[in-house]
Amino acid sequence: MESEIIWKMKKSKRGKEQSKNILISFLLRAGLAIAFFYAGISSFLAPTNWIGFVPNFIGAIISKEIFLMSFSGYQILLGIGLLFDYKTFMLSILSSVTLFLIVSGNIMSLELLFRDVAILFMALALISLSYKSKNK
Amino acid sequence: MEIIFVASLIVLAILGIFDSGYLIKKRVKKQPLSCPIDGSCEKVVESEWNAIFFIKNDFLGLFYYALILFLVLYLFFASEKLLFLTKIISGASLLFSLFLVFIQAKIIKEYCFYCLISALINLLIFVNVLFL
């Protein structure tokens, strides 16, 4: 009887912990997805506002406009994947790399991009969270 | 038309489509909802308040977000003729959401996370539409 009560308590504790993790994961994924959606959609609707953030060396390889459009599509797909909770561990690594490249490629505009550093750390938190839950 | 509000509206409409789409998927497949806050999502979505005029609220939500997405794209790319209609629709939807939150708080006495997210999205859509 006593062990049953302890088991139930443990179960409910585990249940609470699990739903807490679900909420944290949802908030991180939704936050990242909103950031990627907004950037992707806005640069698709008004490319002139965003073309300045494309590093010059990319212009030497491919037209900046084409790169921006492709990058918009990539960001929207990334956002969809995160919202769907599809391969979250891999997508959060991809998000971190993407954000790291955005920040390091525009390090001179840090006064505009400093919030991306916070988003990068959100992606890192999601890596740690999804890795942990995978091994549990 | 300010690009910031257009882009925000598109993002919100997409989030709304995901939110209501998730509820529809779980209902159709008869799978339990993973409710991340203290409260019973099941109790709310299976209550007698889950439909209006025989149309399920989740389906109504999906239709509304798809309509907002269409209207915003139309307003941005074609003409601003439908701006007033968009304001009326988003205002009515916000009122309906507030009514459903009231039902959750006072009658069902349980909260559904996804319904609260939807109400928040509707509030943000209305605010953005006002600034268009």
Answer yes or no: do B10 and A34 touch at CB < 8 A. Answer: no
Domain boundaries, chain A: 37-135
Using one digit for the tens of pLDDT, what is the confidence trace for B119-132? Answer: 999 999 999 999 98
Banded pLDDT at A32 (limits 50, 70, 90): very high
Q: What pLDDT is recorded for position A132?
A: 64
CA angle B21/B99/B24 to nearest 5° reads 15
Cβ-based interface (< 8 Å): residues of A facing B: 19-20, 22-23, 26, 30, 33-34, 37-38, 41-42, 45-46, 49, 83-84
| A72 touches A41 (CB < 8 A) | yes
Helix runs in A46-109, H state only? 56-61, 64-83, 88-105
Residue A108: HSE in the Cβ half-sphere, 13 Å Cα cutoff: 4
Q: In percent, how much of chain A has pLDDT > 90?
A: 56
Return the CATH number at B68.
1.20.1440.130
Coil, helix or strand at residue B31? coil
Q: What pLDDT is recorded for position A2?
A: 45
Place of tokens 């920040």: A103
Q: Which residues of chain B have pLDDT under 70?
A: 38-39
| A125 touches A28 (CB < 8 A) | yes
Identity of the residue in A26, A38, A49 whose CB atom sits nearest the CB atom of B11: A38
ipTM comes to 0.71
Reply yes or no on whether the pLDDT at A135 is more than 80: no
Nearest CA in chain A to B22: A84
Nearest CA in chain B to A31: B15
Number of separate domains in chain B: 1
Chain B, residues 80-119, CB within 8 A of chain A, namely 113
d(Cα B85, Cα A3) in Å, to the nearest integer? 62
* C-alpha distance from B4 to closest chain A C-alpha (Å): 7
* C-alpha distance from A24 to closest chain B C-alpha (Å): 9
The helix, strand and coil proportions of chain B, stated in percent and rounded to the nearest 5, come to 75, 5, 25
Q: What pLDDT is recorded for position A5?
A: 52
Q: What is the domain extent for residue B40?
A: 3-131
Chain B, residues 15-34, CB within 8 A of chain A, namely 15, 18, 34
